[in-house]
Amino acid sequence: MAERRVYMNGRLVPESEAAVSIYDSALMFGDMVFEMTRSFNGEHFKLREHLERLYAGLRILRIPLETTIDEMTGAVHRTVEANREAFAPDDEHRVMIDVTRGLLGIYHGVVGADPGPNLIIADFPLRWTVRGMGELFETGINAAIPSQRAIPARLLDPKIKNRSRLHYLMANIQVSDRRGENNWALLLDPDGYVAEGTGDNFFIVKDGAVLTPGGRNVLRGISRAYVLDELCPQLGLSCAERNLEPYDVYCADEAFMTGTPFCLLPVTGLEGLPIGDGRPGPVTRRLLAQWSENVGVDIPAQIQVWNDADADLGDAPSPYAFRRR
């Protein structure tokens, strides 16, 4: 298959050469805003929403990117187009858009004049990100609460999708130490409220209502918004933002997590105790089924097919998981 190419400030370079200078602010400060999207049947999903969130972050961080949102949309399409040969027919696209501030001022001497921000667009098969996840649609995952707390927005705003997130990794390290299978980290904020996973948003279902933490100490996920603003209304489900504590999760009927690559995964346990009857619940199933129908892809089945095909590659149980070696 053809080698993939990555958009780097207007040029398409081989993926293995897509790299960021060691003097870039992104590597110095975690100073990068990014987005990661996916396709369904090759169609980008909510690309505009992703890009608007990206531009909000760029403004607040004062990254002076001159590319407009429409130009960037064009660049995404161009990149995907350029990689057509590098994808299998049943692949979906996972597009990663990174914007860095560029070289720190003190290193401008390294390359001459200040080259300004970097815009990087990569496109690779979604199947990698969801390795081993197929079965999780049936077993569900166990949410494990690490000692690490979410950094609250008053100190570092998670609503800006940035790369300064070492605390996510600490949470994953801590959770890797738990007995049992399929443990994913669920962070509490310093007030003891459920915040988010390390790359996913959390929901419960209680007495028929779909509830998720308010958009404060969390990334406001595009999938999260899709559930709240489109899927639940479509299905006539009541849904709301609500402060959630572990007590609420223990007493919930169902729970699930949302994330771009896998869309929606059942959470069937909290700290090893079953939620509800310990199996994916009916509301969770309805939401996933409706999502699949809306996008014309059987989401779990597609992932299971890839998993079966890639079984020899081993699992990557959470998209951001830390794995002990």
Which 267-306 residues touch its own copies, going by CB under 8 A? Answer: 271-273
d(CA 45, CA 97): 14
Class of residue 294 by CB neighbours under 10 A (exposed 0-12, middle 13-18, buried 19+)? middle
The answer to whether residue 179 forms part of the interface with its own copies (CB under 8 A) is yes
Site string for its own copies, 5-24 (x = CB under 8 A): -x--------xx-xxxxxx-
Question: 106 to 145, contacts with its own copies by CB under 8 A?
Answer: 106-107, 109-111, 120, 122, 124, 128-129, 131, 144-145
The interface region with its own copies, picked from 38-46, 229-237, 266-274, 291-299 by CB under 8 A, is: 266-274
- One-letter identity of residue 2: A
Q: Which is nearer to its own copies, 121 or 231 (CB)?
A: 121
Q: Binding of its own copies at residue 255 (CB under 8 A)?
A: no
Site of tokens 């187009």: 81
Structure tokens at 173: 């390290």
Q: Rounded to the nearest whole angstrom, what is the least distance from the CB of residue 290 to its own copies in the complex?
A: 25
Among 51, 99, 141, 160, binds its own copies (CB under 8 A): 160
Q: Among residue numbers 205 through 224, which ones bind its own copies (CB under 8 A)?
A: 214, 216
Q: Which of residues 29-58 bind its own copies (CB under 8 A)?
A: 29-32, 56
Contacts of 158 (CB under 8 A, 6+ apart): 150, 151, 195, 196, 217, 218, 219
- Of the candidate spans 27-35, 68-76, 223-231, 300-308, the one that interacts with its own copies by CB under 8 A turns out to be 27-35
User: Contact 111/103 with Cβ under 8 angstroms?
Assistant: yes
Place of tokens 């001459």: 112
Which of 77, 78, 159, 285 lies at the binding interface for its own copies (CB under 8 A)?
A: 159
Tokens of 240: 């709301």
Token couple for 249 = 């999760």
Regarding 95 and contact with its own copies (CB under 8 A), the answer is no
Give the span between the Cα atoms of 309 and 323, in whole angstroms.
Answer: 22
**167 near 150, Cβ under 8 Å?**
yes
